[in-house]
């Protein structure tokens, strides 16, 4: 069964019981190179595998970009 979440302001359908770490992997995003805000809370990298997405959750994903 699919659920609807909001990712960076856009609605997206995903499989029920998807962990945030699995969602990031499906988007080819490395947990070491992003900051994830989950329902207005910044998550530690350790919590990405423990957090299961639910209907109407909100994710903001920011990529960390190096440069000078």
Residue 45: per-residue pLDDT: 87
Hunting for tokens 């302001």 — which residue is that? 9
Q: List own/partner pairs for 21-30 with CB under 8 A and 24 or more apart.
A: 21/48, 21/49, 23/53, 23/59, 24/48, 24/61, 27/61, 29/61, 29/63
Domain presence at residue 9: yes
CA distance 45 to 47: 5
Domain presence at residue 68: no
Q: How many domains does the chain have?
A: 1
Determine the structural domain holding residue 59 and report its residue range: 2-63
CATH of residue 57: 3.10.20.30
Can you give the pLDDT of all 68 residues of the chain as single tens digits?
Answer: 999 999 999 999 999 999 999 999 999 999 999 999 999 999 998 898 899 999 999 999 999 887 76
Residue 27: per-residue pLDDT: 96
Identify the H or E element spanning 50. none
Residue 68: per-residue pLDDT: 65
3-state secondary structure of 63: strand
Domain presence at residue 27: yes
């Amino acid at each position: 069964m699919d659920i609807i979440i909001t990712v960076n302001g856009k609605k997206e359908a995903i499989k029920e019981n998807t962990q945030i770490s699995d969602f990031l992997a499906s988007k080819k995003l490395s947990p070491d190179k992003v900051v994830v805000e989950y329902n207005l809370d910044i998550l530690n990298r350790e919590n990405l595998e423990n957090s299961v997405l639910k209907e109407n959750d909100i994710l903001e994903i920011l990529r960390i970009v190096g440069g000078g």
